[in-house]
Chain A
Amino acid sequence: MQQTGSQILFTALKEEKVDTLFGYPGGCVMDIYDELFRQDIRHILVRHEQGAIHAADGYARASGRVGVCLVTSGPGATNTVTGIANAYMDSIPVVVLTGQVPTAMIGNDAFQEVDITGITRTCTKHNFLVRQIGDLHGTIREAFQIARSGRPGPVLVDLPKDVIQSVMETDRPATALPPEEAPCPDLEGLCSEALKLLVKAKKPLIIVGGGVILGKASEEVRTFARKFQIPVVSTLMGLGAFPASDPLWTGMLGMHGAYYANMAVSQCDVLMAVGVRFDDRATSKVDAFAPHAKIIHIDIDPVSIDKIIRTDISIVSHCVSALKTLLRLSDVQELRRPEGHLHAWRNRIHQWKAEMPLSYCRNRNIKPQYVVEKLHQLTQGRAIIATEVGQNQMWAAQFYRFNEPNTFLTSGGLGAMGFGLPAAIGAQVACPDRTVVDVAGDGSIQMNIQELGTIAHYGLPVKIVILNNLYLGMIRQWQELFYGRRYSQSDVIQVLDFVKLAEAYGIKGLRATKPNQVKRVLQEGLETPGPVVMDFHVEPEENVFPMVKPGTPLSEMAFGNVRTAVA
């Protein structure tokens, strides 16, 4: 039968089981939108293309599926670049469909033309410009395959208008897809060696990262850790991979990690890192990282191995295969850790936890940490939490104890403010029956504030918690600690009435200005059906602690007005 490019596109999307597009129309995609009118795929109309890409990203993080966004050429495409770079840094599978000027006009500086494949070449896993209709179906299928396979990532497909408008005969069978990656050679041998180290270890530690969540390996990690009674710490991106309610949970490590987590890393003798890329926020001073430990590194991407930290045993593998092999071999060899080894290390960690838990001082103002704690309590720790970037992000990571994967959506690698609100939209669309909360600062919530329109349009019951301190908080903290309290451009003097703003969008707005109002406002916000904006006026100059100054070892943390500890 004869099909237009638009029809072929939707056929391919259906074959990929895509149920939602996040997008915004424009000149070069009018034919696609015309065809959409006849199709029954859900389309969420955002208010800025950056909202579309972050929403597709949030959808992917919450569901484990590939997120899809559709934007037009020129400014539509360039508006997605931040979101694409964000997905690239955190390895999130999204397919970005961009309109393009007709092929004959490419390179002539046409109206709304940009070389988006050139611009995104280094921040996509791969990208395509479809030059003829015969390539369209195969390219779309290949784009999805690339996005979700191996180490996932964003794939952009640029669709010239004439290709979309042209017609071809399509009785051909579905295209064969490139084969899946080859498994790790000598997986058994490497896992055997790793087991030898772990069984002998007196102070073993597991670090989980974003790779465990992307690889859907939480269950295997739990089984393995519990079998050998090995404590577990997590990077920011790994939160939720291992339950915070488990006795083996030892917190988040890194620049704003817990004292006991950073101490455990600094003192351990065997470190098994699963799905971790040893980013500088997690490791701090590289040559002081885990100085006493033999390191086992399991990652699907060979680029991550020995990139920053020298490893003793490196296993390039999907983490589920590696963990399953480790479990199987340990059963076959009947391996157990000696009883004597278990207790001393466990007690040491308990001691550190008692010495310096994550804490804050209460006073007459609302403490932002208190808001997050109450939020955790009132949602039983089961909400999906999206964050913005900065202090709000760190307090959410520290105080909302995550138990499940795919529930903490945060811009880790890129640190893009404005991510949280549209990501929460994507998550709510993916998981309509879950409570979805965006934890934001008063600065970052304004970066994509227009997406309140999207929330109102679709009645998405997203709850927005604004930790409002009238500062660009993390910047102000650094200026206080390292720049002699010179608050250059970090104090936001203009007071924005978030309640009125919410109501202008037809969304309920609530405000708390005193600690005894926090629980009531949260309760009302969470229990009211539909979207709610909650404005919490928090302590203006509260700092995130612990803090490891860049370039110093993880064991040298600052604690604010409590004490400075050196291991």
Chain B
Amino acid sequence: MPTQLKERAIAVIVNNRPDVLARIAGTFSARGFNIESISANITRNPAVTKIIITTLTTQDTIAKVIKQLNRLVDVLEAKRLRRPQAVRREMIIARLPRTKERQAAIQELIGNRGGKVVNEESNAVILEFTGDKEELEEVLTRLEALGMEDFARTGIIALERGKS
């Protein structure tokens, strides 16, 4: 249905100029669209940046958003990253207190979810997990149960599958 609200992902490929991110964000806010998550980094060409944005919106609106973005001078291309043609991933890093009691539970969680330890201090450890949104929501629930102190989460990144 064209009026159904769904989380939709788009890729925006832009010239790597200082105010480009502000311009993209400004297009969203000026038109009343909300950015749910955003991830940006340079491509193999340092003059070109790729930005992945997710927004909760309708099919009609996402089409309008893409036209608006394509009109911006520094935008080289803006396109949909549709499910299921595009694979979505996110990453979290989380800090847990390091105790004998938690040791086993942490090892089990890492084993089940393909996580890893990226930092160890005497009293705390930082774990890293990647996955899709649902998987990470589950991991976070478990981490909270293990007394997670703090965490950081990337925006969603997505990439079209190869042609079969």
Contact = CB atoms under 8 A, between A and B. Distances in A.
Interface of A: 117-118, 121-122, 125-126, 129, 146, 301-303, 307
Nearest to B23: A121
B59 to A, nearest CB: 13
A129 B27 CA distance: 19
B30 A122 contact: yes
15 contacts: A121-B19, A121-B22, A121-B23, A121-B26, A122-B26, A122-B27, A122-B30, A126-B73, A129-B19, A301-B71, A302-B67, A302-B70, A303-B64, A303-B67, A303-B71
Interface pairs A-B: 10 shortest CB-CB: A126-B73, A122-B30, A303-B67, A121-B26, A122-B26, A302-B67, A303-B71, A303-B68, A146-B73, A121-B23
A307 B64 contact: yes
Q: Which of B26, B27, B70, B71 has the most CB of A within 10 A?
A: B71
Contacts of A307: 64
Interface in B115-131: none
Interface residues of B, number: 15
B104 to A, nearest CB: 51
A307 B60 CA distance: 9
Contacts of B64: 303, 307
Interface string B101-137: 0000000000000000000000000000000000000
B68 to A, nearest CB: 6
Contacts of B73: 125-126, 146
Interface of B: 18-19, 22-23, 26-27, 30, 64, 67-68, 70-74
Nearest to B71: A303
A118 B29 CA distance: 13
Contacts of A121: 19, 22-23, 26
A129 B64 CA distance: 28
Given A117-B19, A126-B74, A302-B67, 5 more contacts: A122-B26, A125-B73, A126-B73, A302-B70, A303-B67
A118 B23 CA distance: 9
A121 B26 CA distance: 8
A122 B71 CA distance: 12
A303 B68 CA distance: 6
A256 to B, nearest CB: 28
A307 B30 CA distance: 16
Contact of B22 (A118, A125, A126, A146): A118
A303 B63 CA distance: 10
B115 to A, nearest CB: 40
A450 to B, nearest CB: 32
Nearest to A301: B71
A126 B18 CA distance: 13
A197 to B, nearest CB: 24
A121 to B, nearest CB: 5
Contacts of B30: 122
Contacts of B72: 126
Contacts of A301: 71
B30 to A, nearest CB: 4
Contacts of A126: 72-74
A121 B18 CA distance: 13
Contacts of B27: 122
Nearest to A118: B22
Contacts of A303: 64, 67-68, 71
A146 B74 CA distance: 11
A312 to B, nearest CB: 17
Q: Which of B26, B70, B73 has the most CB of A within 10 A?
A: B73
A84 B64 CA distance: 24
A122 B28 CA distance: 10
A125 B72 CA distance: 8
Contacts of A125: 73
A129 B19 CA distance: 9
Contacts of B70: 302
A121 B21 CA distance: 11
A126 B27 CA distance: 12
Contacts of B68: 303
A146 B72 CA distance: 11
A561 to B, nearest CB: 41
B77 to A, nearest CB: 13
Nearest to B17: A128
A125 B75 CA distance: 13
B9 to A, nearest CB: 21
A215 B10 CA distance: 32
A125 B70 CA distance: 12
A66 to B, nearest CB: 16
A526 to B, nearest CB: 43
Nearest to B29: A122
A307 B64 CA distance: 7
Contacts of A118: 22
B14 to A, nearest CB: 13
A129 B26 CA distance: 17
Contacts of B26: 121-122
Nearest to A127: B19
B128 to A, nearest CB: 35
Contacts of A122: 26-27, 30
A122 B72 CA distance: 10
A118 B26 CA distance: 9
Nearest to A117: B19
A302 B78 CA distance: 13
A520 B73 CA distance: 53
A476 B155 CA distance: 52
Contacts of B67: 302-303
A126 B22 CA distance: 12
A292 B110 CA distance: 64
